[in-house]
């Protein structure tokens, strides 16, 4: 019942993710198309196959950080890695790895490596 036609005429359906308590609304095609081999794509490729648990409003429950998921969802929407100043890139990397989005994880590792001075070994940057 939640299926609609998107701007290119294809059929898609909308779903809401409950990531650690915050809601993200997106389409199945965003989660599945950009990185088809990721765990996230596998979780949502087939409707109700993976057995994702839903909350009482129908949002799919994922026990991860909402804050660091945000740039990941944007990356799946338009293919660009865009992170605000002050957001810890290592947090985004943890989520990219968890969701198995390999190409993004590699890109994030490069950014982290380039932004660290060689002598810095502190646990948080």
Using CB under 8 A, list all residues that contact a second copy. 4-5, 14, 16, 18, 20-27, 30, 51, 53, 55, 61, 63-65, 67-68, 70, 73-74, 77-78, 80-88, 90-91, 94, 98, 107, 110-111, 114, 122-124
Please identify, using beta-carbon distances, which residue of 45 and 90 lies nearer to a second copy: 90
Residue 101 CB burial class (10 angstroms; 0-12, 13-18, ≥19): buried
- Of 21 and 36, nearer to a second copy (C-beta) is 21
Minimum distance of a second copy from residue 41's CB (angstroms): 14
Minimum distance, C-beta of residue 93 to a second copy, in the bound complex (Å): 9
CB of 124 to a second copy, least distance (A): 5
Is residue 120 within 8 Å of residue 97, measured between CB atoms?
Answer: no
Residue 18 C-beta: closest distance to a second copy, Å: 6
Q: Which residue number, 36 or 107, has a Cβ lying nearer to a second copy?
A: 107
């Amino acid at each position: 019942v939640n299926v609609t036609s998107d701007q290119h005429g294809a059929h898609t359906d909308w779903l809401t993710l409950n990531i650690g308590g915050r809601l993200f609304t997106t389409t199945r095609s965003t989660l599945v198309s950009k990185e088809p081999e990721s765990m996230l794509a596998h979780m949502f490729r087939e409707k109700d196959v993976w057995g994702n648990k839903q909350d009482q409003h129908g949002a799919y429950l994922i026990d991860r950080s909402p804050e660091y998921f945000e740039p990941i969802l944007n990356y799946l929407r338009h293919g660009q890695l865009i992170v605000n100043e002050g957001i810890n890139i290592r947090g985004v990397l943890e989520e990219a790895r968890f969701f198995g989005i390999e190409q993004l994880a590699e890109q994030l590792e490069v950014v982290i490596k380039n932004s660290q001075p060689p002598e810095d070994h502190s646990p948080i940057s």
